[in-house]
Amino acid sequence: MDTVNDSIGQYLLKRLFETGIKHIFGVPGDYILGFYDLMVKSPIRHIGTTREDTAAFAADGYARCLGMGALAVTYGVGALNTVNAVAGAYAESSPIVVISGAPGVREQRDDPLIHHRFGPFMFQREIFERITCATAVLNDPAVAFRQIDRVLAAARQFSKPVYIEIPRDLIMSQGYPMPTEIVEPFLSDETALSEAIAETMEMMAQATSPIIIAGVELHRRGLQSALVELVERAHLPVVATLTGKSVIAERHPAYLGIYEGAMSSENARYMVEQSDLLLMLGVTLNDIDTGIYTAKLDPHLMIRAALNEIVISAHRYPRVSLSDYVTTLIGSVRACKDQLISKPNVNEPSDFPAPDRPITTARLSERINQALTTEMIVVCDVGDCLFAAIDLRVHEQSEFLASSFYTTMGFAVPAALGAQIARPDHRTLILVGDGAFQMTGTELSTHARLGLNPIVVVFNNAGYSTERFILEGPFNDISSWRFDRFGEVFGPMIGFDVETEEAFEQALTESLNNRTSPSIINVHLKSDDASSAMKRLGEHLRSRVEGGN
């Protein structure tokens, strides 16, 4: 890599491109304009968004599809507007690079009242230190190149966001190439690995109903193909956590569905809770994945393979990587030569649409499941649309994206922009509530401007449905928007207003056939209509809010 004559800004762009980032999302501002000018002259394309937080959501969606994403914003008002979305990426282990322009080094010294300042200049870096795994302020040309390399390496290693701040008067300053800093790879303790595998094989030999619970870390560590190999070699059934949804292709014959305690389907819950061996791979035991702690999992029957340790019942094996454990386990299990038999998908209504029948959440979800194709990536917001999506079955791995653990509203529309840019051979199906759409739905105008063709299904139940099922009150009411008419403001798109199954069928058919612009279907649902999972969750959370146990 020839970097002898590179400026700091040029070097950063070059290293991002070599990392696999071909697009940077963001909103311009005076402190970042010099970097934007360099971007125009580079092979990286700028994707302008309507807001800075949606740029971060888009970078998150991009990272989940390609391994890493990036955004570039101005100092203060721009960077601070991304904090929620970056925190979400940190919570969900999505590696995005936050690039912030900053006042020049001389300006920071000589002009303390410069605009966008909100305190000492180091405050912004200190804020991002809390929600990233590495930060760098490129205020010294002598070490700037090495700082860039260190931060990008950290993003890859830890699968977390990183922060790079570049003063505007150093963007075009020449940097100084330095020897590459060697990052020592994590090496598993061979003795601990060998003993963990031996104990695993002993427990598997004794078990009569073992099952794999697959978690999100398998995706973040690139182990999805290894999961499939293990499942098919050992003939083990598999469920996924909600945060790990689509870690395996959900039409795979071994896949049983999502397990999250009481919110699971009856079959998935039974298969997990009656199992005498739970092989938990890359699972994070947060309250969402455990169904707000309604999961019934016996720790004495667990084998938990986490990021860098294996826990088997009461035995802990430190310094064993998830990758080494899964790979070694594949080579240790006895190959089963019987063919896996596909199970019929039970969530496909044969009588849809029923004449003059008002549409419900359950029937809507069943019809959406039937419409999924191999080219679709489902991007889901939080709220009842997320719980309704539990039983959707996407065709390929990594085709379901959601803020399932951090659960920030407003994720879906901008994250779908990033996913569509990252995977242009796919089409996004966006599931979003009316409340979440009102937060970031303006980003649909960027989809339209770029000629993308997402299908947006708005679960319009006139307010914040999740909160209604926890504690009803006027604070859950929101303004009524005519989502179907957004094309009149946002640009070329088609819209539909739907109250019945017949109207939805027609809208869905036309949307699937529309390949040149976004389609938005405004589905009117009763405010007290909800998925069965949402009702169960609401009952559980209501007891907490009202002071129950």
* Per-residue tens of pLDDT for the chain, all 549 residues: 566 689 999 999 999 999 999 999 999 999 999 999 999 999 999 999 999 999 999 999 999 999 999 999 999 999 999 999 999 999 999 999 999 999 999 998 887 788 898 988 999 999 999 999 999 999 999 999 999 999 999 999 999 999 999 999 999 999 999 877 777 788 999 999 999 999 999 999 999 999 999 999 999 999 999 999 999 999 999 999 999 999 999 999 999 999 998 888 889 999 999 999 999 999 988 888 888 888 899 999 999 998 899 999 989 999 999 999 999 999 999 887 676 665 555 556 678 999 999 999 999 999 999 999 999 999 999 988 998 999 899 998 889 999 999 999 999 999 999 999 999 999 999 999 999 999 999 999 999 999 999 999 999 988 887 777 777 888 888 888 999 999 999 889 999 999 999 999 999 999 999 999 999 999 999 988 888 777 766 666 666 556 555
pLDDT of residue 381: 97
pLDDT reported for residue 99: 98
What's the confidence (pLDDT) of residue 80?
98
* Alpha carbon distance 428, 413 (integer Å): 10
- Owner of token pair 């309250």: 287
Report the distance separating Cα 459 and Cα 462, nearest Å: 9
Instruction: Give pLDDT, residue 475.
Output: 87
d(C-alpha 12, C-alpha 35), whole Å: 10
| Tokens at 320, concatenated | 């064993």
Domains of the chain (ranges, CATH numbers): 8-170 (3.40.50.970), 190-332 (3.40.50.1220), 361-540 (3.40.50.970)
Q: What's the pLDDT at 335?
A: 83
Q: Are the C-beta atoms of residues 4 and 178 closer than 8 Å to each other?
A: no
163: enclosing H helix or E strand = strand 162-167
Q: Are 61 and 379 in contact (CB under 8 A)?
A: yes
- DSSP-assigned beta bridge partners for residue 101: 166
Sheet containing 69-73, strands listed edge to edge, beginning at the edge strand earlier in sequence: 45-48, 23-26, 69-73, 96-102, 162-167, 134-137
Indicate the length of the chain as a whole number. Answer: 549
8 A C-beta contact, residue 275 and residue 301? yes
Closest by CA to 419, choosing from 21, 61, 150, 28, is 61
Could you identify the residue written with the tokens 């146990």?
549
CA distances from 138 to 98, 102, 104, 179, 512 (A): 13, 10, 11, 18, 47
Q: Contact 469/536 with Cβ under 8 angstroms?
A: no
Beta strand residue intervals within 193-234, DSSP E: 210-214
The DSSP bridge pattern shows strands 455-460 and 519-524 to be parallel
Residue 251's pLDDT is what? 92
Token pair 């930060």: residue? 135
Burial 518-538 (b: 16+ CB within 10 A, else e): bbbbbbbbeeebbbbbbbbbb
